[in-house]
């Protein structure tokens, strides 16, 4: 929507209130989440994954998602998205008025069975039902699929690129609006990233539009850069790298929003983000989850003299 009207070439999509908080045991107060979303908007972010329509019993820390969508919609130009695990979640997402809903689809058969209790093809079938429901309701909510474990899996190890590309094709055929590739467990390397995104674009064109990296093993920003070189322009990130990795205590989760902002500022590509505002927000988020480790790199040394905030 706004990409054509502004000089902003990169969309950094914040996933902290969902992906970040999902890995944090404690529940953040709704007021703090709203302050977080408000500050992100003030810092220039225009896409935020505000929560998830999973059953509140399973994830009580995200039970206020509908309220957060409603709040986010009051902020000019802000496009709230939500994660949905299935058709039931999709219905709630549509009813909430979210701009987009994201269904995770694991490219690893083993991971898909373990986490979603469905095969990847069963998830594709659900995706089709979600698109149909959205259309039947006359909703404009974008349907996005996030192909997780696209670069490897902690359970089955290697994930074949051909299988990822088959699922990209299946998602296109199912009628989704947007597709992302996610390195859920921090296995990706920049060579693999460049190749798979290039191949994915051949299959899905500009529907393949999001790159989601974790910095678990230090290659998060190298992978963001490789995906950018391959043509990606939207990147998920999380304030302060909050959330970590459940499989590796102390290791980072999502790449940090401020690190991604710094990377693109340093290569001279506009993101529309205010770096100092992101750094100040990092401190506030830290105070709201006291005791939870934050991650990321740029916060220690700050910007070089050669990069303007």
Catalytic residues, which ones?
Answer: 245
Q: Could you count the other beta carbons within 10 Å of the beta carbon of residue 203?
A: 17
- Min dist CB 300 to a second copy, Å, is 4
Q: Where are the alpha helices (DSSP H) in 119-174?
A: 120-136, 161-173
Cα-only R_g, the chain: 18
Of residues 208 and 219, the one with the C-beta less far from a second copy = 219
- Min dist CB 197 to a second copy, Å, is 15
- Min dist CB 107 to a second copy, Å, is 13
**3-state SS, residue 63:** coil
**Closest Cα partner for 289 from 27, 15, 58?**
27
In the complex, which residues of this chain contact a second copy (CB under 8 A)? 152-154, 157-158, 185-187, 189-192, 215-219, 221-222, 225-226, 245, 247-252, 259, 262-263, 266-268, 296-298, 300-302, 304-306
CA dihedral (128, 17, 239, 81) in degrees, to 10, reads 30
- Min dist CB 267 to a second copy, Å, is 4
Exposure b/e, 23-50, CB count within 10 A at least 16 = b: bbeeebeeebbbbbbbbbbebbbbbbbb
Task: Please give the Cα distance from 178 to 171 (Å, whole number).
Answer: 9
**3-state SS, residue 55:** coil
- Min dist CB 211 to a second copy, Å, is 14
Query: Residue 170 has which token pair?
Result: 């299946």
The neighbouring-strand residues paired with 236 are: 13, 212
Q: For the purposes of burial, counting CB atoms within 10 Å of the CB of 117, is it exposed (0-12), middle (13-18) or buried (19 or more)?
A: exposed
């Amino acid at each position: 929507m706004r990409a054509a009207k502004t000089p902003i070439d990169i969309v950094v999509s914040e996933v902290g209130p969902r992906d970040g908080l999902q890995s944090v045991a404690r529940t953040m107060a709704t007021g703090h989440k709203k302050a977080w979303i408000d500050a992100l908007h003030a810092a220039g972010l225009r896409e935020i994954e505000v929560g998830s329509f999973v059953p509140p019993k399973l994830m009580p820390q995200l039970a206020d998602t509908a309220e957060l969508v409603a709040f986010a919609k009051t902020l000019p130009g802000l496009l709230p998205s939500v994660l949905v695990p299935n058709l039931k979640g999709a219905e709630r997402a549509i009813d909430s008025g979210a701009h987009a809903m994201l269904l995770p689809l694991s490219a690893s058969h083993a991971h898909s069975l373990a986490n979603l209790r469905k095969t990847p093809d069963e998830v594709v079938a659900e995706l089709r039902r979600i698109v149909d429901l959205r259309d039947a309701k006359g909703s404009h909510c974008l349907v996005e699929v996030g192909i997780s474990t696209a670069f490897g899996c902690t359970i089955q190890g290697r994930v074949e690129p051909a299988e990822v590309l088959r699922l990209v094709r299946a998602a296109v055929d199912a009628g989704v609006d947007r597709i992302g590739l996610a390195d859920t467990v921090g296995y990706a390397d920049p060579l693999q990233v460049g190749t798979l995104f290039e191949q994915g674009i051949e299959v899905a064109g500009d529907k393949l539009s999001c790159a989601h990296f974790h910095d678990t093993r230090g290659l998060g920003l190298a992978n963001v850069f490789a995906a950018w070189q391959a043509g990606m322009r939207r990147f998920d990130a999380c304030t302060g790298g909050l959330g970590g990795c459940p499989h590796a205590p102390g290791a980072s989760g999502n790449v940090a929003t401020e690190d991604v902002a710094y990377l693109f500022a340093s290569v001279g590509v506009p993101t529309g983000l205010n770096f100092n505002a992101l750094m100040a927000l990092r401190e506030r988020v830290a105070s709201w989850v006291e005791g939870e480790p934050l991650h990321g790199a740029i916060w220690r040394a700050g910007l070089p003299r050669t990069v303007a905030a």
